[in-house]
Structure 1
Amino acid sequence: MIGLLDVLVVDDEQPAVDAMVHFLDKDRRIGRIFPAASANEALRILQEQHLDAIFLDIHMPSMTGLDLARVVNRFSEAPAVVFVTADDTLAVKAFELEATDYLLKPVSESRLAETVGRLAGTRVPLAPDAQLITVDQGGFSRMIRLDEVQYAEASGDYVRLHTAQSDYLVRIPMSALARQWENDGFVRIHRSYLVSLRHVDRVEFRGTASVKVGSVRLPVSRRSAPLLRSRLQAGRIRSTT
């Protein structure tokens, strides 16, 4: 997207509106910011202004955020919709409405910046069937997409999930996580590491085996090397002649 993003913030709680406006106003990719205290006020603004995105609360009186999103989706040039809510149970419904993101309150400035980056870039909405997982960070919970996880690292009684933007702790044994994510493209390459094959840039089997994920090099144990080879071979392109 070229130029600054003009956005609308919709929430019936004024402190929530003020916090979002404060963070957005600090982002150089954001242009005009329009606050609204209700869905009806938001519709009036949308009729008067051409906007790029809406940051939308879900639980509001009269018309919910989900209802407003259904109306917005019928616009000929619909703005992107980002849900901002304390309710972590409605993500699937949100993505069925082609939401670009689903933020859990309280929203951190860094998390909001990730969303703005998505809006300012491709503006491709998350897939409706994207698998979401709940993680903890900074004393609160949030939801991330499973396909954002590049690799998992054992950390005592926890597992640390690494994404391109941040990392998160989940309380689960590595062995259990490996079983759960086996059919989602993850491979246990070491006692301490589980890696997503979609994020692997390079594999080295000579000498000390390793895989490279971005700028990080992860060890591959001798015990895990055969499984990794097998999974790589299964995805190899073969000639049909």
Structure 2
Amino acid sequence: MTRPLAVLAVDDEAPALDELIYLLSGHPLVGNVYGAADANAALRELAERRIDALFLDINMPGLSGLELASVLGNFSNPPAVVFVTAHEDKAVAAFEVGATDYLLKPLRRERLDEAVRRVVNARAAEPAPTEESDEVIPVELAGLTQLVRRDSIGWVEADGDYARLHSSTGSHLVRIPLSTLETRWRNQGFQRVHRSYLVALQLVTGVRTTDSGVFVQIRANGASPAVELPVSRRQTRELRDRLIRDPMRSYRPGGDEH
């Protein structure tokens, strides 16, 4: 791995978190370092940006570090996990959930250096993620963290700096701009059709042209009839082109379009 690591430090104790961020920030193999005070905050960070490794406390309110590491196992390309804890007796459980390393507090710089090198070596040995790998998006509802598979999402709606995912499991608000998802998912069969909408091409059932504009029809979430969303003039041609050539779609031109 040639680029510097993007690292997320997670600890519910502010002094410990500050020290961990400080030590990681000074490492020559580490680029960006982010911080989170609990597992839910960590999941939000993971949804918003690419993270190569978590340096993670074990005992935290809500989801523990071990539980968070188990959740990460559902990700298509999970970050490496290094536990940083004062508890010697959790090492076996930590490695059972796939930890790359296990550091004891108080931290020693040379031991942290070794952990970073292990992360770099582990990431370099991993195969590159394939386009077939399906992403999961962590969402929070009433204090519960739920994982939404990308292939269950029919369309995404802009909501200020947030995005609302419309999936087979319901509607979920996430703190990710629509433009970010557009870039991330374009090669996974999604198309921006309007400044407010991103759609899954495989769930498009038709394109309808009227005097008032162009509309794309999507059958998702068990909805019947299909949901209809507006298509902006500047996106119409690219949408039609992708519907014809995109191998991930189930749409058949000519059947529903009129």
The normalised TM-score by structure 1 is: 0.50
Cα deviations by residue, 1:162-211 (Å, 9 ceiling, x for unpaired): xxxxxxxxxxxxxxxxxxxxxxxxxxxxxxxxxxxxxxxxxxxxxxxxxx
CA distance in 1, matches of 2:4, 2:54: 14
Cα deviations by residue, 1:95-119 (Å, 9 ceiling, x for unpaired): 0011000000011111100111111
Unpaired runs of 5+ residues, structure 1, are 126-241
- Counterpart position of 2:21: 21
Is 2:16 the counterpart of 1:55? no
Task: Provide the identity percentage.
Answer: 51
- Counterpart position of 1:162: none
1:2-41 to 2 correspondences below 5 Å: 2-41=2-41
Deviation at 1:37, TM superposition (A): 0.4
CA distance in 1, matches of 2:121, 2:29: 10
Deviation at 1:15, TM superposition (A): 0.6
Q: Could you tell me which amino acid in structure 2 is paired with residue 57 of structure 1?
A: D
CA distance in 2, matches of 1:73, 1:31: 24
CA distance in 1, matches of 2:122, 2:64: 27
Is 2:12 the counterpart of 1:42? no
- Counterpart position of 2:84: 84
- Counterpart position of 1:116: 116
Q: Could you tell me which amino acid in structure 1 is paired with residue 106 of structure 2?
A: P
Structure 1 runs (4+) deviating above 4 angstroms are none
CA distance in 1, matches of 2:104, 2:19: 13
Q: Secondary structure at the match of 1:81?
A: strand
CA distance in 1, matches of 2:55, 2:122: 17
Cα deviations by residue, 1:56-79 (Å, 9 ceiling, x for unpaired): 000001110011001111100100
Deviation at 1:121, TM superposition (A): 2.1
Deviation at 1:90, TM superposition (A): 0.8
Q: Secondary structure at the match of 2:74?
A: coil
CA distance in 1, matches of 2:52, 2:82: 11
Q: Could you tell me which amino acid in structure 1 is paired with residue 41 of structure 2?
A: E
- Counterpart position of 1:101: 101
How many matched pairs?
125
Unpaired runs of 5+ residues, structure 2, are 127-258
Q: Secondary structure at the match of 1:117?
A: helix
- Counterpart position of 2:130: none
The normalised TM-score by structure 2 is: 0.47
Q: Secondary structure at the match of 1:16?
A: helix
Q: Secondary structure at the match of 1:75?
A: coil
Q: Secondary structure at the match of 2:88?
A: coil
CA distance in 2, matches of 1:69, 1:117: 20
Q: Could you tell me which amino acid in structure 2 is paired with residue 114 of structure 1?
A: E
Deviation at 1:122, TM superposition (A): 3.5
